[in-house]
Amino acid sequence: MMLLSAGDALRRPFRFPAACALAFGIAACALAAPVPGQAQDDRMTPIAAPAQPDAIELGTGALPGATAKESWHRQYGSRFARNVTVATLTPFLPDPAKASGAAVVVAPGGGFRTLSMDNEGYDVARALAARGVAAFVLKYRLRQTPADMAGFERSMQEMFSGAARTPLPAPTSAATDLAPQLADSTAAFRLIRARASQWHVDPDRIGMIGFSAGAMLTMATTLSTTEAKPAFIGNIYGPLGSMTVPQDAPPMFAAIAADDPLFGNRDFKLIDDWRAARRPVEFHLYEKGGHGFGMYPKATTSTGWFDAFVRWIDMHGMLKKIR
């Protein structure tokens, strides 16, 4: 794998073993195959780590105490990474002639123990770049899991049992619980702003979108840090429980399916909190879609979330052409 150092630039699923992981001790599952015909692909198959020539090391260091090395597997036709010990950012840049100036940090989900790199990462970034938005896939550091696939599956099965009944953690603990991941997301914003001119990005129009655990990281980056300051955020099937919303909170786009077994049966008080703070918020509650629909082509209206998100950031003036 060829990796560039950011320091050089900055000087400084409900069917196990479908893609299930635990987020803060609760199950975060990609519950359904992208289409019924691909149901046979639900088995996790180890693969070699793909070449990542455009990945840039974020300079946040190796995960403290890590012993297992980064590994990848395939499931549902998509690739997943786990045991990530060094954070990277991969740019997906639009044609300069079409560049709007807007940028988005994309945070895949996977319970902080694996990352859905295609469905919630690269595929999202490519689609954004096609709309004139510079997208940056954040491969953030993860909690360690057994190095061998059998051990990984066994550990997830053990954690999965009874995990759905585990209460969500207090949002105030995010800065401590997610310290490495928050360092990674903050470094991502720092790098993009440092290279804004090179990447045709407006430093004031950098947002963040996250999926499941990535949505948790997006919310923590927004509410528990002071440096990143995303201009807008997307919370895609992440928890929507009550949080303290500051008066300068960015516009938020939220989408979740009512049949999401992880967060669909919990409350959506975060939407009310955003409104009470008089901050812009758009909320899409889809009838069906399950958890982890991402960019998978499914016969549910949840598939329309991406077009709605792009129209929403356009409505907020984020897609105006850079001068």
pLDDT in tens for each of the 323 residues of the chain? 334 433 333 333 322 223 333 444 333 443 444 544 444 478 999 999 999 999 999 999 999 999 999 999 999 899 999 999 999 999 999 999 999 999 999 999 999 999 999 999 999 999 999 999 999 999 999 999 999 999 998 887 876 565 444 555 565 677 789 999 999 999 999 999 999 999 999 999 999 999 999 999 999 999 999 999 999 999 999 999 999 999 999 999 999 999 999 999 899 999 999 999 999 999 999 999 999 999 999 999 999 999 999 999 999 999 988 66
- The pTM of the full predicted model, rounded to 2 decimals, is 0.88
Run of H or E including 158: helix 149-160
Residue listed under structure tokens 């938020």: 252
Angle between helices 179-194 and 213-223 (to 10 degrees): 70
Per the document, the length of the chain is 323
pLDDT for res 10: 32
Run of H or E including 187: helix 179-194
CB burial of 161-184 (b: ≥16 within 10 Å; e: otherwise) equals eebeeeeebebeebeebbebbbbb
Q: What is the CA radius of gyration of the chain?
A: 18
Which distant-in-sequence residues (6+ apart) come within 8 Å of 323 by Cβ? none
pLDDT for res 29: 42
CB atoms within 10 A of CB 102: 29
56 in helix, strand or coil?
Answer: strand
Strands 78-82 and 71-75: antiparallel
